[in-house]
Structure 1
Amino acid sequence: MTETPLDAPRAWAELTDPAEPAQRLRVDLTWLTSRWRCIFGAGCHGIDAAQPDAGCCTLGAHLTDDDDVARVAAVAQRLGPDEWQLRDEALAEGWLVDTEDDDADGPPSRATRVVDGGCIFLNRPGFPAGAGCALHQHAVAEGVEPLTTKPDVCWQLPLRRTYRDVELPDGTAYLEITITEYDRRAWGPGGHDLDWYCTGSPEAHTGAEPVFVSLRPELVELVGPEAYAVLARLCEEHLAATAAQTRAAGPDGRPLLPLLVHPATRAAGTLRTE
């Protein structure tokens, strides 16, 4: 099935953050109401065809700040050898490295080490605890959200949050926070060279729930509970409008096209119109 073009039309909504009136959220309804789900271990091809079992972990994870490093370090100390396949490697050589793209004028950029084509926290197929991120698996075993154990970039993916200062003609200004799909472009220039990527692939748009529901904990962490409540209502209204449009008959008696649906969700056949 064909991957969704990067510039496919999208529906957006804007809202003032109920908790921070000086902020406005710009949310991608097309993405948030899509049926994307992570298919790691269930058909994921991986971003590198030579390492399909590594999913999107082939490049390691770039840590955002000291708090990000501290959170992951605390979890890494609690992981036992039955949970973390490369624990001995990490104890001997470390799990954190400085990256080559450091800004000489800023703090060092840090990332998880890459070992044999994958993040050092990635358990490979055949490991007794199962393949996948040791940090994620630890969270599941402890009954906590993975966002409390994983690097920021990992638990946020495939959501993307960006910031922009907006100045209005009357001299006022606000901070615009955009929540959208972490598509190929978000990876930088190299994103266009990924062998496969899930967000635009119909193979990954087979979720039982829309993204704004399935990724609720992550969205609440990104925008706060008050803003999420408004975001969820807008998504529900969008889905209702899309369903009504899909059921309606056009001038020639044929159903109208669901123009507000993520193309990958439509191609996957998981659009709900009931």
Structure 2
Amino acid sequence: MTLADNPRKNEVALDFPREWIEFLDPDDPDILIRADLTWLLSGWSCIFASGCHGINPGGAADGCCTHGAFFTDADDVKRVRKAAARLTPETWQHYRPRFKDATETDELDNDEGEPEPALRTATVDGACIFHNRLGFDGGFGCALHAQALRDGVHPLEYKPDVCWQLPIKRDYEKLRHADGTEKQVVVITEFDRRGWGEGGHDLHWWCTSAPEAHTGKVALYESYAAELAELIGKPAYDRLVELCQARRKSGLIAIHPATARNEPNGL
């Protein structure tokens, strides 16, 4: 059986030693940033259309665009609707003049684990409606991503939140000290299979654990500068960069095992 037949056989285990760092948000001392240095200093990079096996069997050309993207809130919907209005039948294979025809109502578990109605992008023939297929004259891949590049803006300004945030996972926790004081904790880490919920374990392949996706020329904290700055704020990102650079110089990083398969000493 080849790697193409069973790509997940090459993935590293989900649990391994990680190195974390904590620092206060320069803009708000009541917010503590907890960052996964093992992930941020890894060599992960997106290999869509360049070796990606896809999350469904036979879906290599679709990457992780197989399922529709759930919107996080009204602002997310508004931003994507505005971006979609810039698309045409020449740039969007599954063009819909009305944005509501490009969305569907599905169910998503809330914080209590109870399913509730949630809006997401629709799917067409087994992939997101915004995913232009191979052979389309207007270009292959996400129509929103391509439009952002044509307009000279970062794709995070046009794509659904979940699409541009992957494979970074942002969580929120509450830290309560013995003296009664509290801090909001923002956790930045790897969006591994578990980030998808129970169904994540059934994915045909997932890139964050795969050595073939850990061949980037720069560390993730550098290649995802815009996304991280959007997730935690520019001042906090600038501080994160300082800490990442200092830790890299120390040579004591707990290296991501998928990166270590390619670069034993890290980036």
TM-score (norm 2): 0.91
Instruction: Show the counterpart of 1:48.
Output: 56
CA distance, structure 2, for counterparts of residue 127 and residue 271 of structure 1: 42
Query: In the TM superposition, what are the counterparts of 1:42-121 in structure 2 within 5 Å?
Result: 42-88=50-96, 91=98, 94-101=101-108, 108-121=117-130
Aligned-residue offset at 1:93: 7.6
The letter for the 2-side match of 1:222 is: L
Shift of 1:190: 0.4
* Alignment partners' CA distance in 1, 2:169 and 2:147: 24
- Partners of 1:91 and 1:52 lie apart in 2 by 29
Paired residue secondary structure (1:228): helix
One-letter amino acid matched to 1:118: A
Aligned position for 2:183: 174
SS in structure 1 of the partner of residue 64 of structure 2: coil
2:14 is aligned, of 1, 6, 23, to: 6
**Letter paired with 2:162:** V
User: Given that residues 107 and 116 in structure 2 are in contact (C-alpha distance below 8 angstroms), is that contact kept between their aligned partners in structure 1?
Assistant: no
> Partners in 2 of 1:263 and 1:162 — Cα distance?
23
State the TM-score, normalized to the length of structure 1.
0.88
Aligned length: 256
Seen in structure 2, the aligned counterparts of structure 1 residues 32 and 19 have a Cα distance that, compared at 3 Å, is same
Residue 100 of structure 1, CA deviation: 3.1
1:220 to 212, 222, 229: 229
- Supply the distance in 2 between the matched residues of 1:92 and 1:212 (Cα, whole angstroms): 34
Q: Equivalents in 1 of 2:100, 2:230: separation in Å?
A: 33
Amino acid at match of 1:55: G
1:31 and 2:47 aligned: no
Query: Structure 1 stretches of 5 or more lacking a match?
Result: 246-258
d(CA) in 1 for partners of 2:215, 2:234: 27
Question: Are 2:259 and 1:265 aligned?
Answer: yes
- What is the rounded CA distance, in whole Å, between the counterparts of 1:235 and 1:92 in structure 2? 41
Letter in 2 for 1:162: D
Structure exhibiting the larger radius of gyration computed from Cα positions:
1
